[in-house]
């Protein structure tokens, strides 16, 4: 079974600085998707960034980028130029591309605080 | 585009009762997945519906059941409620029929069992 581990329950960053959130996962599959979701107090899960395992290039979306290390099964999220609106719970998630393709497995999240 | 909508937003039920939660997927999506998110934890997959059938199921008891209608909307039913069923229930829609696996989430239903 796939597992996702986020080892940082809480992180804080100064506004305008950079922070990195860690995620490791375990799977026996070779092709899959990895995601970072943001969940603000409004509760709605918002997709931040997606990585396809067969793509070696790390995904980027504006101020958000990932460091995907397939062999190490590591998928960290870097937030540059942090803004107050980035404060939220961040979840790392795994989804198989073929086996269990409909099911996402989530970590337990990292609460990010942004200090003005 | 209204996105994924869930109703109700909050619900309080008594142990032993039954509850039905509803989800309307994003326009153009044909697949609905349900997740349970306990306080301070990540969402746990309950099941997924596609073409009105349960396509995949997580590790949840039979007290949890669902349905998908021809218009792709979905219901989650929980029977014989336990205190431990108190959680945020999230619905996510996607378009498996077109091969797109990106999921869009609703704002959830907060269920409290007393």
Confirm if B106 and B6 have CB atoms less than 8 A apart: yes
The pLDDT assigned to A12 comes to 97
Lowest-confidence region among A11-15, A99-103, B89-93: A99-103
Confidence class for position B1, pLDDT limits 50, 70, 90:
low
How many CB pairs lie under 8 A apart between chains A and B?
59
Lowest mean pLDDT, pick from A6-15, A24-33, A75-84, B59-68 = A24-33
Higher-confidence position of A107 and B102: A107
Each residue of A54-107: pLDDT tens digit?
988 999 999 999 999 999 999 999 999 999 999 999 999 999 887 666 789 999
From the CB of residue A71, how many other CB atoms can be counted at a distance below 10 Å?
5
- Name the average pLDDT for chain B: 93
Q: Do B104 and A47 touch (CB under 8 A)?
A: yes
Find all residues with CB under 8 Å of A106, minimum gap 6, and list them.
A4, A37, A91, A92, A93, B35, B42, B43, B44
CB–CB of A43 and B50 under 8 A? no
- In A, what residues contact B, Cβ < 8 A? 4, 33, 37, 42-47, 50, 91, 93, 95, 97, 100-109
Mutation for testing the B interface, residue in A32, A35, A44, A88 having most B CBs under 10 Å: A44
């Amino acid at each position: 079974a796939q597992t996702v581990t986020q080892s940082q329950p809480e992180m804080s960053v100064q506004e305008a600085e950079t922070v990195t959130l860690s995620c490791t996962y375990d799977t026996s599959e070779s092709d899959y998707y990895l995601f970072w979701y943001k969940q603000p107090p409004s509760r709605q899960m918002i997709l931040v960034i997606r990585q396809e395992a067969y793509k070696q290039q790390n995904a980027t979306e504006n101020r958000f980028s990932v460091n995907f290390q397939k062999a190490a099964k590591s998928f960290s999220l870097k937030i540059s130029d942090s803004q107050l609106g980035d404060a939220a719970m961040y979840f790392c998630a795994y989804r198989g591309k073929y086996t269990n393709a409909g099911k996402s497995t989530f970590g337990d999240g990292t609460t990010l605080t942004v200090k003005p | 585009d209204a996105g994924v909508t869930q109703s109700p937003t909050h619900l309080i039920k008594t142990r032993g009762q039954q509850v039905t939660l509803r989800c309307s997927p994003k326009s153009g999506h044909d697949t609905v997945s349900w997740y349970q998110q306990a306080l301070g934890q990540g969402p746990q997959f309950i099941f997924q519906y596609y073409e009105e059938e349960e396509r995949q199921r997580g590790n949840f008891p039979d007290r949890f059941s669902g349905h998908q209608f021809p218009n792709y909307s979905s219901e989650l039913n929980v029977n014989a409620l336990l205190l431990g069923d108190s959680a945020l229930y999230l619905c996510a829609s996607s378009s498996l029929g077109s091969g797109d696996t990106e999921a869009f989430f609703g704002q959830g239903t907060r269920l409290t069992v007393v």
